[in-house]
Amino acid sequence: VEKYIIINAPENFSTSLLNTLYYEDLIEEQLDTLEWPILNENDACGMCYTSGTTGMPKGVLYSHRSTYLHAMTILSPNAGNYSNDDVILLIVPQFHVMAWGFPYMCLLTGSDMVMPSLHLQPEAIVRILEREKITKANGVPSIWMGVYEEMKKNPPKEKLALEEYLVGGSALSASLIENFENDFGIRGVQAWGMTETSPLGTASRLQKKHKDLSKKEQIKIRAKQGIEFPGIEMRIVGDNGKIAPRDGKTMGELQVKGAWVIKSYFKTNNRDNFTDDGWFRTGDVSTIDTDGYMEITDRTKDLIKSGGEWISSVALESALMAHPKIKEAAVIAIPDKKWSERPLAAIVLADISKPISDDELKEFLSSDFANYQIPDNYVTINLVPKTSVGKFDKKEIRRLYAEGKLN
């Protein structure tokens, strides 16, 4: 190390470090104003890499135009619904698709932006929510699951200013939406996107026609990934190459294109994810219903094919995590001599002193799943492995199984 730069050093600060510089000294002689360069809107603005959960990470280059259009659309009322009345907590780090574009939304709306350090524990997040009077926030589901459990154990002394939290990265379960809202009056908003879509492409908010539905029916809709934003197009394509109907039942690969969807990866000629007519192949297996709500049933590489029938690992995970004794659950395919593949459920108990039997889990799942869809095998683990951005790391779970560490 050649130099150490110390930030916000108090008066009379001393250190044993050699070769130190002080940040305030470095900027003292700099101008307070900046002469902005003239840029073409199609010039490169930033680049992020895909998480690599299903392969090697690939570079995704964003332009100033795509970044601006994304921010302008997502801050609108039927999307993120942000304004200068909001104080927004950016739990998503900036290296994760530029914090989902939130820094740009905050600047455009005049929202106050709170940017914490990485890898915060739930207790620290709750303290920030209280101290900074946060009104809205973002984050992956595992973060909000931890925050909910912390608030249940140590309820805030006063009602939080937090109105809602926007979730992406993986599915927000109906049970977490319901529990957070019933216990603390805080809304969960499901969104969907990818690094390749800059990243947000949909959000799930109710329409007027849904206001008279029961709470359970409303939450079922809100747990879907939602409707595409203006500027984004979606379609479902079946195995036969035909575009599937929007009936909420017919599954196929989700394909998207739009003003902030990439047309190629950075410095690669790999076109496997792109169709000849300009659509990006997401790898998500999905449906779209008659009202336009998209719902992801699985990743193509995470689907389980048992005896010729497809089983959704995402649906099983959401159902298992609705059980009061289960904190987290991840489902993978394991080889089976008779059926080719069978689902294996790796579960994290909410309380290790309260175990749960395989038979109890099978009975719990039987109301929503056919017999062939229900896992035969369950294993209890201490923690579901996660990627750097909080997604379940199924590559790691498969590795642990292959090495005999999940038996």
Instruction: Assess whether 178 carries a catalytic annotation.
Output: no
CB atoms within 10 A of CB 163: 15
Instruction: Assess whether 157 carries a catalytic annotation.
Output: no
Catalytic residue among 217, 305, 360, 363: 305
**CA 383, chain centre distance (Å):** 18
Q: What is the dihedral of CA 387, 368, 205, 142, to 10 degrees?
A: -20
Distance CA 6, CA 46 (A): 27
Question: 297 CB contacts (<8 Å, ≥6 apart)?
Answer: 251, 285, 286, 287, 312, 314, 315
**Three-state SS sequence of 92-136:** CCCCCHHHHCHHHHHHHHCCEEECCCCCCCHHHHHHHHHHCCCCE
Distance CA 8, CA 393 (A): 37
DSSP string covering 161-224, please?
S--EEEE-SSPPPHHHHHHHHHHH--EEEEEEE-GGGSSEEEE----GGGTTS-HHHHHHHHTS
List C-alpha distances in Å: 31 to 25, 26, 200, 258. 13, 12, 36, 40
Residues in the chain: 407
Instruction: Assess whether 50 carries a catalytic annotation.
Output: yes
Catalytic residue among 58, 109, 135, 196: 196
Catalytic residue among 24, 215, 310, 405: 310
Instruction: Assess whether 217 carries a catalytic annotation.
Output: no
Distance CA 59, CA 44 (A): 13
The residues annotated with a catalytic role in the active site are 50, 196, 305, 310
